[in-house]
Amino acid sequence: MVIGGGEVATRKVMMLLKADAAVELISPELGHELADMLAAGKISYTQALFSPEQLDGAMLVIAATDDEATNLAVSIAAKARNIPVNVVDAPELCTFTSPSIVDRSPILIAISSGGASPVLARMIRAKIEALIPATYGRLSALAADFRYRVKQRFSTSQSRRIFWENIFQSNIAELVLSGQEPAARTALSELIDSDQAETSHGEVYLVGGGPGDPDLLTFRALRLMQQSDVCVYDKLVSKEVMELVRRDAELIYVGKARDQHTLPQDEINELLVRLAKEGKRVLRLKGGDPFIFGRGGEEIETLMENGVPFQVVPGITAANGVSSYAGIPLTHRDYAQSCIFTTGHLKDGTVELDWPALVRPKQTVVIYMGLVGLAEICRQLIAHGLPPTMPAAVIQQGTTQKQRVVTANLATLADKVADAEMKPPCLTIVGEVVQLREKLAWFEPKG
């Protein structure tokens, strides 16, 4: 049952007819398109003002008038009869909302804002429409026709999934999308029967998950995250980034905190080898970049020694991402012509760093994992020549909605950080560039 006879009602009726609904319309008058539908026998029509008893026997109701009183009356009457009701642009009166639809039958994509912003949902729909060719429906139909043969060819759901993922990224899919469906069917049939169809080879994806904000992931990282069978991940990978890992992938946590290692590094290396040799696509997901204090080099050494294929996907390292979100440029013509990255936590647990290299003039120093030894680091930097007034900052959970920044100088930084009860993960930046934060800070977390 649709209440209304104007443009909005027309859109709703067209959507319902696509779903093969039997549509009855109630309105004092009809627009031209609805009149044409009535003349073609596609809808039923009662010319009348709305009254509650008209809803008796209806399965679903949509109020699409421009009269608020009528829309409210429809909502009350439908709820009294336990009939699902949608009132256009009035989510508080609805018991359901109707999403925007991208139709690539048999593929259907629904975009809903829960009634909060239908215009935004339609804009998102337009973007998706532009990205997904109309021929994707034929690609899905092809898969349906060959589904039973593939199920017989591959005994496990994992092998079938990998097979189809490879097909959908292959020249067979391109043949379908370009209108050469007979050729695609022939090629797919031949592949299923060939030895090349076997997909049991494992691989490791060493992926940098960036400093926390999921928008900073690379396209390649996201693609591999979505096709992995198992994800081996670290403590520094944010929850928001983990949400983008394939939903049914097995998750294995190997995070490290100071003096608390879930798995020693050697065992992590061997775990990656074992999982890959079981034929799995293994996502080794790390915070930041895998080759900057991420032990990625140690892991691929073991993979190479064992003949395990792998890919490395760089990520935005914390120094770049966190400093940008904190409003602290790492280099600046007036303050710093070089930048050095170092770790405040060495393999043997000490903070014995190359202090002379860290106190050179016109330089920015970025210290990873230096929170526990911060007081000693500040003392040593001063002892080796940096002035106690040198600006410095500690950023906690940079780039995320939980980002916190404490700025001070080397003489007072450790005390200020302790007073603020900062917790890992934190990054420390030392240099004249820190004073620019007062002018350049742009990111204000909402959390």
| 3 state SS of 380 | helix
Q: What pLDDT sits at residue 119?
A: 85
Split at pLDDT 50, 70, 90, the class of 349 is low
Cβ 340 vs Cβ 330: under 8 Å: no
Mean pLDDT across the stretch 189-204? 78
Question: Residue 196 pLDDT more than 70?
Answer: no
Q: Tokens standing for 443?
A: 């990111």
Burial class (CB in 10 A: 0-12, 13-18, 19+), 421: exposed
74 is known to lie in a ligand binding site: no
Residue tagged active-site, from 42, 79, 256, 416: 256
Are 184 and 71 members of one domain? no
DSSP-derived letter for residue 203 is E
Are 54 and 148 members of one domain? no
Question: Of 256, 284, 316, which residue constitutes the final position of a domain?
Answer: 316
CA distance 210 to 330: 17
Q: What pLDDT sits at residue 134?
A: 82
289 is known to lie in a ligand binding site: yes
Q: What pLDDT sits at residue 122?
A: 86
348-376 in b/e form (b: 16+ CB < 10 A) is eeebebeeeebbeeebbbbbbbbbbbbee
Question: Residue 400 pLDDT more than 70?
Answer: yes
Cβ 150 vs Cβ 164: under 8 Å: yes
CA distance 436 to 429: 12
Is 190 within a domain?
Answer: yes
Full domain range(s) for residue 431: 319-440
CATH number at 24 reads 3.40.50.720
Q: Per residue in 121-172, pLDDT tens?
A: 889 998 988 888 888 889 999 999 999 999 998 888 888 888 898 888 888 9
Mean pLDDT across the stretch 40-58? 96
Q: Per residue in 360-388, pLDDT tens?
A: 999 999 999 889 899 999 999 999 999 99
Is 378 within a domain?
Answer: yes
28 is known to lie in a ligand binding site: yes
Considering only CA atoms, which of 202, 205, 133, 140 is closest in space to residue 167?
Answer: 140
Are 282 and 330 members of one domain? no
Question: Residue 117 pLDDT more than 60?
Answer: yes
Mean pLDDT, the chain, integer: 91
211 is known to lie in a ligand binding site: yes
Question: Of 145, 162, 197, which residue constitutes the final position of a domain?
Answer: 197
Question: Residue 200 pLDDT more than 60?
Answer: no
Instruction: Give the N- to C-terminal CA distance of the chain in Å, as an integer.
Output: 44
Question: Residue 205 pLDDT more than 80?
Answer: yes
Q: What pLDDT sits at residue 132?
A: 85
Is 126 within a domain?
Answer: no
CA distance 336 to 332: 5
Split at pLDDT 50, 70, 90, the class of 52 is very high
7 is known to lie in a ligand binding site: yes
CATH number at 397 reads 3.30.950.10
Q: What is the enclosing helix (H) or strand (E) of 125? A: helix 118-131
Is 446 within a domain?
Answer: no
CA distance 255 to 233: 7
Question: Is residue 280 among the annotated active site residues?
Answer: no
Considering only CA atoms, which of 436, 234, 229, 444 is closest in space to residue 318?
Answer: 234
State the pTM of this model: 0.71
278 is known to lie in a ligand binding site: no
Are 234 and 175 members of one domain? no
CA distance 186 to 83: 50
Is 369 within a domain?
Answer: yes
Mean pLDDT across the stretch 40-56? 96
Q: Per residue in 247-266, pLDDT tens?
A: 989 999 998 665 555 688 99
- Helix ranges (H only) for 169-248 are 171-177, 181-193, 219-227, 239-242
CA distance 310 to 276: 9
Domain count, the chain: 4
Mean pLDDT across the stretch 292-297? 90
Q: In sequence order, what are the residues at sequence separation of 6 or more whose Cβ sits closer than 8 angstroms to the Cβ of residue 266?
A: none
Residue tagged active-site, from 213, 229, 234, 286: 234
| 3 state SS of 309 | coil
Are 174 and 212 members of one domain? no
Q: Per residue in 79-101, pLDDT tens?
A: 999 999 999 888 899 999 888 88
CA distance 22 to 155: 43
Mean pLDDT across the stretch 399-405? 95
Question: Is residue 256 among the annotated active site residues?
Answer: yes
Q: Per residue in 21-35, pLDDT tens?
A: 999 999 999 999 999
